[in-house]
């Protein structure tokens, strides 16, 4: 068994059938007005819903032999607890070292700013948090002419300015709270923050009174703040905007025809990824160094991969207990140092919660601990050639330069597992949609776009038997990875690409009506779903860039690692090594998009202009946002 004690650690058992079966998905792609017409047809015809349900293949899992031999696992919650002698420890967060507190990669011409860069200027007095917020407000507010606005929804200007002034006072007194005090962040719009409406990307149509009466919950601000978000705010972070997202988080593109689709600034002809599209877009553009998102099927990993930044999906229920067997809240960041800082802050155990309060603080691996990478070769081989080429170079670097052991591994029932993951997420999405439609829960379809109306109507064909079998299959997968982690390869990290393709290309009209391409969605999620199903932590890092097939600008690609439950710090240490590889070994090093925003230079310019009689408090004065501090590759 694993060295650290756990609650509910699965009994390790190697899966019986390790043959990888290549899935043969046959879901049609529908776009434009045909999508809108199809949504009406599916909503009004049980026969059509049944046909589409059978076509998805989601129902085939219940007939897979051998599932009845396992108990169902409805939540993949495995809690790492304290070692003997640590029970009385009051430690709730690991201390921060130079990798967080000092600017990194400063000798490179191209890098992303971290919280340490902000703090260096705050400490010297060259800038204050107020200068930064006032420089950012024109970029993040809707309706101010910013080319970046689609990444954001709502900004409480007075609140963030008040918080910035309080942070500035702490810095002036030499008493900052910690490593993110005064640093701008954003939070996804399906995370509760007091005073903000958690719309989950659904457009509340504020100019339509009838719509508001029909769906009052889309106008009701949250009365409390989720634990992870509150920990960031308690640490002095400045919430400059709420992030836009893919509606209900139900795809991996980020396409939102009603709120607008955030831009992938590396190449605007590609989607930003979903569902945490707004946060990843803002990170890729350099606007903020940290964003908080949610992940039920790669949503804090696929968007960072597409936008050239980092994302960490924590162990299930570590940061907050959600009413979900798949979804967690986790950080995304432009640098590994900031990913580490954000993770440690949001993962502090909540003493008032009977679940998160039991988690011990994730620990850095002991010196001399075995370092081993496992690669499921047949699975990885489904990636596009350019992705495979970059992935193999990363693996070779870790093996030949850093001394990792590299082993081939197998994982059972991968195609069946993904066929169980998708409908499990859709069932939970239907439940959340009905709740948001309260008090008229059966009227949920009227608030959604055409794609999501189709998906949630189809999932109504799922049965209770399907749900039971999905979670029996989950048990088999959890027991198998427990076998790999605790018995066969202690210290193992399972490596794959983050997505099998280099970005997701847009097509004309996608942003107007949305679209549905089930085969491409499943392909995009090929590797990320396993961590959600098993509850294991997983991190994505940029590993390089592909030449575009359309548009201008090289397309980022990510490498994905999954570790044992509670191994977040191990994953973050590995991510730091990938970051070093990208800066120091990858040809040309890290790049930034053409319209990357130099926030600190912009803040200095704003401060200088204010000192010469400029209008300091008027963050709405945007003469030409599109030309501000653009940085080329």
Quick: pLDDT tens for 257-266.
Answer: 999 999 999 9
> 27 pLDDT band (50/70/90 cuts)?
confident
Q: Please give the pLDDT value at position 621.
A: 28
Tokens 């992705």 locate to 387
Strands 328-333 and 290-295, by their bridges, are antiparallel
- For residue 16, what are its two tokens? 């019986």
> 21 pLDDT band (50/70/90 cuts)?
confident
Contact call for residues 248 and 431 (beta carbons, < 8 A): no
**DSSP class of 397:** I
Tokens 């002036």 locate to 172
Helical pair 464-483 and 414-436, crossing angle rounded to 10 deg: 130
Q: Please give the pLDDT value at position 258.
A: 96
Q: Please give the pLDDT value at position 618.
A: 36
Instruction: Say whether pLDDT at 622 is over 80.
Output: no
> Over the range 91-122, which residues count as b (16 or more CB within 10 Å of their CB) and which as e?
eebbebeebbbebbbeeeeebbbbbbbbbbbb
How far apart CA 367 and CA 544 sit, in angstroms, is 29
What end-to-end distance do the CA atoms of the chain give, in Å? Answer: 48
- Residue 393's CB is within 10 A of a number of other CB atoms, namely 16
> 91 pLDDT band (50/70/90 cuts)?
low
- For residue 624, what are its two tokens? 């030409």
User: At 405, which helix (H) or strand (E)?
Assistant: strand 405-408
CA-CA distances (angstroms) from residue 116 to 76, 271, 277, 575? Answer: 35, 30, 25, 18
> 620 pLDDT band (50/70/90 cuts)?
very low
Task: Cis check for the bond before 275: say yes or no (omega within 30 of 0).
Answer: yes
Q: Please give the pLDDT value at position 610.
A: 78
How far apart CA 418 and CA 525 sit, in angstroms, is 8
How far apart CA 390 and CA 452 sit, in angstroms, is 34
Distance of CA 154 to the CA centre of its chain: 20
Average model confidence (pLDDT) across the chain = 94
Per-residue pLDDT of 486-527, as tens digits, reads 999 999 999 999 999 999 999 999 999 999 999 999 999 999
Per-residue pLDDT of 422-476, as tens digits, reads 999 999 999 999 999 999 999 999 999 999 999 999 999 999 999 999 999 999 9
Q: Please give the pLDDT value at position 85.
A: 63
CA-CA distances (angstroms) from residue 224 to 228, 272, 372? Answer: 12, 30, 42
Q: Please give the pLDDT value at position 272.
A: 98
Per-residue pLDDT of 97-140, as tens digits, reads 999 999 999 999 999 999 999 999 999 999 999 999 999 999 99
Instruction: Say whether pLDDT at 530 is over 50.
Output: yes
DSSP 84-133: TT-TT----SPPP-HHHHS--STTSSS----HHHHHHHHHHTS--HHHHH
Torsion of CA 557, 527, 383, 406, to 10 degrees: 90
Q: Please give the pLDDT value at position 391.
A: 98
- Give the residue among 627, 597, 593 at the shortest CA–CA distance from 145: 627
Q: CB within 8 A of 628, min separation 6: which ones?
A: 139, 597, 602
Q: What is the pTM of this model?
A: 0.95
**Residues forming a β-bridge with 243:** 152, 188
């Amino acid at each position: 068994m694993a060295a650290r004690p756990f609650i509910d650690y699965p009994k390790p058992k190697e899966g019986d059938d390790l043959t990888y079966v290549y899935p043969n998905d046959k879901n049609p792609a529908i776009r434009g007005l045909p999508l809108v017409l199809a949504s009406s047809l599916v909503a009004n015809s049980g026969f059509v819903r049944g046909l589409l349900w059978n076509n998805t293949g989601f129902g085939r899992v219940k007939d897979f032999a051998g599932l009845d031999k396992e108990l169902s696992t409805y939540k993949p919650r495995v809690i790492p607890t304290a070692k003997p002698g640590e029970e009385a420890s009051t430690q709730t967060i690991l201390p921060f070292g130079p990798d967080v507190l000092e600017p990194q990669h400063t000798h490179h011409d191209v890098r992303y700013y971290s919280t340490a860069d902000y703090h260096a200027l705050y400490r010297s007095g060259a800038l204050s948090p107020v200068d930064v917020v006032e420089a950012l407000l024109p970029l993040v507010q809707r309706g101010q002419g910013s080319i970046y606005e689609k990444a954001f929804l709502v900004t409480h200007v007075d609140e963030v300015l008040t918080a910035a002034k309080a942070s500035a006072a702490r810095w002036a007194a030499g008493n900052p709270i910690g490593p993110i005090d005064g640093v701008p962040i954003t939070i996804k719009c399906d995370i509760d923050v007091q005073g903000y409406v958690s719309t989950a990307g659904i457009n509340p149509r504020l100019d339509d009174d009838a719509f508001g009466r029909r769906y009052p919950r889309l106008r009701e601000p949250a009365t409390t703040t989720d634990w992870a978000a509150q920990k960031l705010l308690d640490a002095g972070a400045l919430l400059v905007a709420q992030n836009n997202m893919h509606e209900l988080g139900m795809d991996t593109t980020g396409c939102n025809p009603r709120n607008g689709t955030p831009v992938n600034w590396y190449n605007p002809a590609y989607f930003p990824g979903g569902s945490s599209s707004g946060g990843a877009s803002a990170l890729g553009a350099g606007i903020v160094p940290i964003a908080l998102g949610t992940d039920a099927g790669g949503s804090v990993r696929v968007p960072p991969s597409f936008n050239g930044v980092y994302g960490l999906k924590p162990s299930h229920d570590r940061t907050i207990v959600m009413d979900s067997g798949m979804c967690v809240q986790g950080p995304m960041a432009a640098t590994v140092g900031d990913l580490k800082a954000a993770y440690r802050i949001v993962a502090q155990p909540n003493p008032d919660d009977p679940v998160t309060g039991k988690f011990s603080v994730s620990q850095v691996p002991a010196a001399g601990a075995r370092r081993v990478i496992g690669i499921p070769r047949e699975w990885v081989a489904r990636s596009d050639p350019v992705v495979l080429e970059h992935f193999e170079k990363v693996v070779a670097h870790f093996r030949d330069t850093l001394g990792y052991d590299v082993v081939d591994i197998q994982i059972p029932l991968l195609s069946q597992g993904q066929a169980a993951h998708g409908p499990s997420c859709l069932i939970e999405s239907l439940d959340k949609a009905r709740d948001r439609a309260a008090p008229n829960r059966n009227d949920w379809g009227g608030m959604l776009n055409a794609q999501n109306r189709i998906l949630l109507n189809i999932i109504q064909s799922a049965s209770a038997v399907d749900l039971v079998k999905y979670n029996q299959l989950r048990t088999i997968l959890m027991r198998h990875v427990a076998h790999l982690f605790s018995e066969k390869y202690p210290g193992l990290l399972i490596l794959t690409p983050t997505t099998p393709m280099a970005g997701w290309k847009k097509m004309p009209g996608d942003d107007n009506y949305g679209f549905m391409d089930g085969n491409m969605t499943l392909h995009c999620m090929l590797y990320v779903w396993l961590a959600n199903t098993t509850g294991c932590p997983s991190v994505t890092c940029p590993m390089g860039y592909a030449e575009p097939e359309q548009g201008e600008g090289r397309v980022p690609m990510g490498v994905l690692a999954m570790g044992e439950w509670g191994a977040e710090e191990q994953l973050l240490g590995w991510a730091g090594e990938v970051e070093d590889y990208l800066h120091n070994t990858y040809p040309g090093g890290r790049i930034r998009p053409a319209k990357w925003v130099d926030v600190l230079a912009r803040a200095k310019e704003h401060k200088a202009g204010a000192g010469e009689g400029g209008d300091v408090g008027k963050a709405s004065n945007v003469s030409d946002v599109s030309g501000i501090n653009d940085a080329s590759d």
